[in-house]
Amino acid sequence: MEHLIFISQTLTGLAFLAYGIACLCFGGMKAEFERYGLSPFRPWIGLLEILGGLGLWLGLFLPLLTLAASAGLALLMMMGVIVRWRLRDTLMQVAPAAILGGVNALLFLHTLATR
């Protein structure tokens, strides 16, 4: 079980670093945030994703950071699912936010239970 948690935390941290950098640097993400009606929040969301990804990685050594990062990222992804649902996006468009949100919720609960 601990190997699965380690792999999930490591890969999820990497995914959020990638999404955060893409959010800040790539035009495709800019267009997506315009479609969401959230353009002013794009830099902040990108920063939160980068900080959350780093928090997950550092949380491998400091579990308190895993609690904070996974809770924040789960909430961020829950909001992402709501935004996409309100726009009537397809299941394939909603799936990444839902899956990453679920993984982070499980990381949070696991870390809480093992502290």
Q: Are 83 and 38 in contact (CB under 8 A)?
A: yes
pLDDT in tens, 40-61: 999 999 999 999 999 999 999 9
DSSP for 39-84, written as a single string: GGGHHHHHHHHHHHHHHHHHTTT-HHHHHHHHHHHHHHHHHHHHHH
pLDDT of the residue at 1: 81
pLDDT in tens, 60-70: 999 999 999 99
Q: Tell me the three state secondary structure of residue 96.
A: helix
**Per-residue pLDDT averaged across 2-13, rounded?**
96
**Per-residue pLDDT averaged across 18-24, rounded?**
96
pLDDT of the residue at 115: 81
